[in-house]
Amino acid sequence: MTDSVRWMSATDLASAYADGTLSPVTVADELLATIGDVDRRLNAFCLIDADTTMAAARASQARHRTGKALGPLDGVPVTIKDLLLTAGWPTLRGSLSIAPDSSEWTEDAPAVARLREAGAVLLGKVTTPEFGWKGVTDSPRTGITRNPWDTDRAAGGSSGGGAAAVAAGLGPLSVGTDGGGSIRIPAAFCGIVGFKPTLGRVPMYPASPFAPVAHVGPMARTVADVAALLDVIGRPDPRDWAALPAPTESFAAAVAGAPTSLAGIRVAYSPDLSFAANDPAVQSNTDACAEVLRGLGAVVDKVDLGWDDPVWAYHVIWFAGAAKVVGALDPPARERVDPGLLAALERHRDFSAADYVDATALRMDLGRQMGVLHQDYDVLLTPAMPTPAIEAGVDVPRGSASPDWASQDWTSWTPYTYPFNLTGQPAVTVPSGLAADDGAVLPTGVQFVGARHADTTVLQVAAAYEAAAAFEGLDQRGMR
């Protein structure tokens, strides 16, 4: 495969299939070969089934040849996070407590079912920390997933396998989950686009133990590809009682048809959510983003949200779900669980039902505050992460810039993500530039947050910024 094909977007692949200049079989075959070479350095994949992948590619090729393609993603390669059920493949969730033969694995999660219906080619399953519990991707089952920009750095988590694969050109699309930043953290660390849609936009089944904050969403190298993937996976499924109705418009068409000017768009800019602190390069790149938006015609106002860190409420909801998962294991299986998760559960084991009610009340009040903010502003701009990618193999960065990040919890260094899981709003991470960090050159990201159900607005603003900023990804910087 030529590098130009390996790094093609999903939308460009679809056009090449339609005009016959490329075939799904060629692309799938060459991508599998590239994965075999490159992934030895990254450890992004936990399952590859070449026979199944190539069978899907051949079926897609036959449809394209007869003019019966199922849609824009027919034949486009996609990876699936190993928290989502995928019929025919085990879903082991990064855990030694789940055996590959413990189930017949006959069901697809809603997002996977929609992809099959659309003719997408599933390349394999990508890594997650155990049960998706933290902001980096390493687990007792699969080990450490590394960042394509610098393999001594973390890919982020918990959708780190998908982010690393997309950033490294090992497939243009990935489906991840986000319960506290798990799409946006690795997207920022790996220099790609990651979108957490409005809660319920992408159905979830089985129900997540982190259901009040758990989202499913798309990851890609461009906003247009994220929108195209959301068009497919963002459809209702009867197994999720909280799923939203079908969207009334195509997200991909809205992004493609959006004006490049942001005249009339109102942006609230919070560089710190009133409680965080940033690496200087992150701050500089985020300030530069605000200037780009102004140059596109948007009104950008710096705002002080007056927030105290809502992490205590997030911990109550998050670790209640984690305790339920681990508590269901028998004692021998529990002994094989990630020691970091067990230690975190021990730190957060004294929550009461009243604490849960209080956490839910704060969650609702944050949602109210954001609803009021969005009466005046279309989007909120923040950094995506306060630092570039942290070192691989640790849950919390060593020697971080702020003493507040000395906590043992992964939430201590992800201040910009989990608040918007509490509110259920759409939030997208887009690359904002590069940072020199201890001899490495690493990407940084910005986050655009919109009102609930304003997914289209968020994507359109992100696409306009992406086009104006013209970030250079790894395909232009030598990743092979």
Considering its fold, how many domains does the chain have in total?
1
Active site residue 250: no
Cβ atoms of 17 and 28 closer than 8 Å: no
Report the sign of the C-alpha dihedral through residues 159, 435, 426, 234, in that order.
Answer: negative
Task: Kindly name the residue from 158, 208, 270, 432 that is annotated as catalytic.
Answer: 158
**pLDDT recorded at residue 450:** 98
The CATH code of the domain that includes 142 is 3.90.1300.10
Active site residue 182: yes
Helices (H), 296-338: 311-327, 331-334
Distance (Å, whole) CA 443 – CA 445: 7
**pLDDT recorded at residue 451:** 98
Task: Kindly name the residue from 23, 139, 174, 182 that is annotated as catalytic.
Answer: 182
Q: Give pTM, 2 decimals.
A: 0.97
**pLDDT recorded at residue 1:** 44
Structural domain of residue 138, as residue ranges?
3-476
Active site residue 400: no
Q: Residue 156 region, left (φ>0) first, then alpha (ψ -120 to 50), else beta?
A: left
266 Cβ contact partners less than 8 Å away, ≥ 6 residues apart = 298, 299, 301, 376, 377, 378, 379
Task: Kindly name the residue from 81, 125, 134, 196 that is annotated as catalytic.
Answer: 81
The residue among 82, 1, 8, 83 whose CA lies nearest residue 35 is: 1
Per-residue pLDDT of the chain (480 residues; tens, 9 = 90+): 455 789 999 999 999 999 999 999 999 999 999 999 999 999 999 999 999 999 999 999 999 999 999 999 999 999 999 999 999 999 999 999 999 999 999 999 999 999 999 999 999 999 999 999 999 999 999 999 999 999 999 999 999 999 999 999 999 999 999 999 999 999 999 999 999 999 999 999 999 999 999 999 999 999 999 999 999 999 999 999 999 999 999 999 999 998 889 999 999 999 999 999 999 999 999 999 999 999 999 999 999 999 999 999 999 999 999 999 999 999 999 999 999 999 999 999 999 999 999 999 999 999 999 999 999 999 999 999 999 999 999 999 986 544 454 588 999 999 999 999 999 999 999 999 999 999 999 999 999 999 999 999 999 999 999 999 999 999 877 776
